[in-house]
């Protein structure tokens, strides 16, 4: 299958300009020649079309896009016969949240709250329809006029666990390391609360300009959230209110049962921050203690090494007394 | 002289239409060759969908087999296997890069067991395993290179959580993924009666280790035992390709080493 370029025509769509190009697909701005309407056309790279994992992901994204009807979800235009694999979506004027954050670094608290509330509204809608995004991150959120948001990329494959994969495909199966929830790190599929965790990470990032968990590689970044507490948002950015910090902590609870139960609860707290009770959290005190998996092993071996020393000491004590 | 008997079987399972596993052996033609080169058993389980997994596993095995046959006489087995797996990694990577414009994802696991005198050297990358069955006890000589196994090892995940994790098939090491691969190598002494068994995850994911010892008994017919194991795995699960290679040590040659050269012990 030949790759498509700007100026080509694909069925009844003209390909106008290349908008974005990722490792898996190219997104073009195009025109529906029947209606004159602007559309976004996502065309997988020829070599990706034969990848079953990518194919599953692509098809799932298309199906979900057709099912959902909400201003906060990018609409996928279902179409008749197509000469090849591609997806047509409504054209959205706006910028990716990632681009906005890259330009501005940190966002003012009011704006970050507004964007998070809009995301909550969309999440409430998709969760009610039984759909979990599972890969929520600033790269998958378009921000338009009035900070209205549109979620894109619903592609995490539904049955990906049954197939064996190499580590390079981690993000295609589990989600992105920085935004993944602790239960997903532990190999669970995750539910609506996993999306709320990802939103908590994004809110932290919007306010402070950095993600809460870090590491040298994806494996360490993922595991960091199981072992350590993030630097309190107010330590990084003192202008963050204690209430907003508390909201972030509630969203970032390690145990999903302690987290916000629904996007509605999350949105309510964001809207009524003055009514949020600030808890005296352990995370605020022990965030400086950094634990690594290796530290636990070192401790274990140190304890083992201590055993003969203790025995020798006891023997010495007994010898002295007899 | 080291003497072995072996049996192997690879089955696509009950769900998949094609077999991405590949097996290979090098049997010494003469007694001299058994001393200078030894025996080699290798198993690879391809990853990549379509027919890429098949190409990856076959490419890796063929590379290792030809490298073993052409190896200098008496090259230490651990150094040899390390070199051969690195070379196979390069071959698979090249095959993936040249398969299509921009390259395609193609990878494979590999477990290789080379034997000479009274030593077995096991090298592996990925989740294909090598078991040693001795006196009715099966012990695994390899450590799965999977994400959940690394998490269990670091104390992040319990064994129970790992068994139900959707990520249990995610490999942290494989041939053909990167420019170089970190291969685990272990050296073991073998005794007459020992059985070394290589298998893909289609077998060890569906059959308990106790069943290995139940079928691979001291006097058993290896061909039959291997067939029964594959049948049992297919019956229990069968969603993946199932491959097994069992080699029984009939006799060993006890040697000592002096200035890097082996000498016969009585």
- Structure confidence at residue A80 (pLDDT): 64
Q: Do A187 and B105 touch (CB under 8 A)?
A: no
Report yes or no: A152 and A137 within 8 Å, Cβ to Cβ.
Answer: no
Contacts of B144 in chain A (CB under 8 A): none
> How many Cβ contacts (< 8 angstroms) between chains A and B?
99
8 Å CB contact of A296 and B155: yes
Structure-model confidence comparison of residues A171 and B135, the more confident one: B135
Q: Which of B102, B161, B171 sits opposite A166 (nearest CB)?
A: B171
- Looking at per-residue confidence, does B90 or B104 come out higher? B90
The pLDDT value recorded for residue B264 is 74
Residue with tokens 């993924």: B177
Neighbours of A12 (CB within 10 A): 13
Q: Å from B225 to nearest chain A CA?
A: 27
Catalytic residue among A32, A56, A135, A224: A135
Note the pLDDT of residue A163. 54
pLDDT-above-70 percentage for chain B = 96
Residue A74: which of A83, A82, A65 has the closest Cα?
A65
Least confident among A69-78, B35-44, B218-227:
A69-78
Q: What is the DSSP letter of B254?
A: -
Whether B154 sits inside 8 A of A294 (CB atoms) is yes
**pLDDT at position B131, please?**
96
- The series of mean pLDDT values per 10 residues for chain A, 322 residues long, is 72 84 78 88 76 73 80 80 82 88 92 94 91 87 89 60 59 77 87 93 94 87 88 92 94 94 94 89 82 76 93 93 82
pLDDT at B105: 75
Which residue out of A1, A3, A167, A182 would a mutagenesis test of the B interface target, given it has the greatest number of B Cβ atoms within 10 Å?
A167
Give chain B's radius of gyration (CA, Å).
18
pLDDT at res. B163 = 84
CA torsion sign for A263, A267, A270, A272 is negative
**What confidence category does residue B266 fall into, taking pLDDT thresholds of 50, 70 and 90?**
low
Distance from the Cα of residue B259 to its chain's centroid: 31
Interface of A with B (CB under 8 A): 45-47, 50-53, 160-170, 173-174, 185-189, 219, 223, 226-227, 293-294, 296-297
Q: Which region among A172-181, A221-230, B159-168, B221-230 has the lowest average model confidence (pLDDT)? A: A172-181
């Amino acid at each position: 299958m030949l790759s498509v370029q700007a100026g080509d025509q694909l069925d009844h769509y003209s390909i106008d300009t290349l908008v974005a190009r990722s490792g898996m697909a190219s997104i073009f701005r195009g025109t529906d020649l029947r209606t004159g309407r602007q559309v976004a056309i996502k065309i997988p790279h020829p070599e990706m079309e034969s990848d079953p994992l990518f194919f599953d992901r692509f098809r799932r994204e298309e199906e979900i896009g057709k099912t959902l009807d909400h201003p906060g979800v990018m609409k996928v235009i279902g179409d008749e016969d197509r000469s090849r694999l591609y997806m047509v979506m409504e054209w959205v004027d706006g910028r990716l949240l990632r681009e906005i954050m890259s330009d501005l670094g940190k966002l003012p608290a009011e704006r970050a709250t507004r964007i998070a509330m809009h995301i909550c509204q969309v999440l409430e809608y998709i969760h009610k329809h039984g759909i979990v995004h599972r890969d929520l991150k600033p790269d998958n959120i378009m921000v338009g006029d009035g900070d209205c948001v549109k979620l894109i990329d619903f592609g995490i494959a539904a049955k990906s666990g049954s197939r064996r994969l190499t580590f390079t495909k981690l993000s295609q199966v589990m989600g992105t390391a920085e935004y993944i929830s602790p239960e997903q790190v532990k190999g669970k599929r995750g539910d609506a609360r996993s999306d709320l965790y990802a939103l908590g990470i994004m809110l932290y990032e919007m306010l402070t300009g950095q993600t809460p968990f870090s590491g040298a590689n994806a494996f360490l970044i993922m595991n960091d959230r199981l072992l350590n507490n993030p630097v309190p948002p107010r330590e990084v950015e003192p202008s963050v209110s204690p209430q907003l910090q508390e909201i972030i902590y509630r969203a970032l609870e390690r145990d999903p049962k302690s987290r916000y139960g629904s996007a509605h609860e999350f949105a309510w707290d964001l809207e009524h921050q003055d009514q949020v009770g600030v808890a005296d959290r352990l995370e605020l005190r022990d965030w400086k203690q950094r634990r690594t998996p290796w530290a636990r092993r070192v401790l274990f071996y140190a304890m083992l090494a201590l055993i003969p020393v203790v025995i020798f000491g006891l023997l010495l004590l007994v010898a002295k007394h007899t | 002289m080291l003497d072995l008997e072996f049996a192997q079987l690879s089955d696509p399972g009950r769900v998949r239409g094609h077999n991405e596993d590949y097996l290979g052996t090098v049997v010494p033609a003469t007694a001299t060759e058994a001393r200078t080169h030894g025996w080699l058993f290798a198993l690879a389980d391809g990853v990549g969908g379509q027919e890429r997994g098949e190409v990856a596993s076959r490419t890796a095995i063929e590379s290792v087999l030809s490298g073993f046959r052409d190896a200098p006489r008496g090259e230490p087995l651990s150094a040899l296997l390390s070199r051969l797996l690195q070379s196979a990694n390069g071959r698979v990577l090249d095959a993936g890069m040249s398969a299509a414009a921009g390259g395609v994802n193609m990878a494979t696991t590999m477990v290789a067991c080379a034997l000479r005198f009274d030593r077995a050297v096991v090298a592996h990358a990925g989740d294909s395993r090598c078991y040693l069955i001795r006196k009715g006890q099966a012990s695994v000589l390899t450590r799965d290179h999977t994400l959940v196994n690394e998490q269990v090892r670091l104390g992040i995940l319990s064994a129970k959580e790992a068994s139900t994790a959707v990520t249990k098939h995610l490999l942290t090491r494989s041939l053909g993924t990167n420019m170089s691969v970190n291969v685990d190598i272990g050296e073991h002494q073998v005794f007459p009666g020992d059985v070394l068994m290589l298998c893909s995850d289609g077998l060890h994911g569906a059959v308990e280790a106790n069943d290995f010892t139940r079928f691979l008994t001291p006097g058993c017919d290896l061909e039959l035992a291997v067939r029964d194991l594959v049948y049992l795995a297919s019956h229990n699960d069968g969603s993946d390709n199932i491959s097994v290679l069992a080699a029984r040590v009939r006799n060993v040659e006890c040697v000592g080493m002096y200035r890097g050269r082996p000498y016969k012990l009585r």
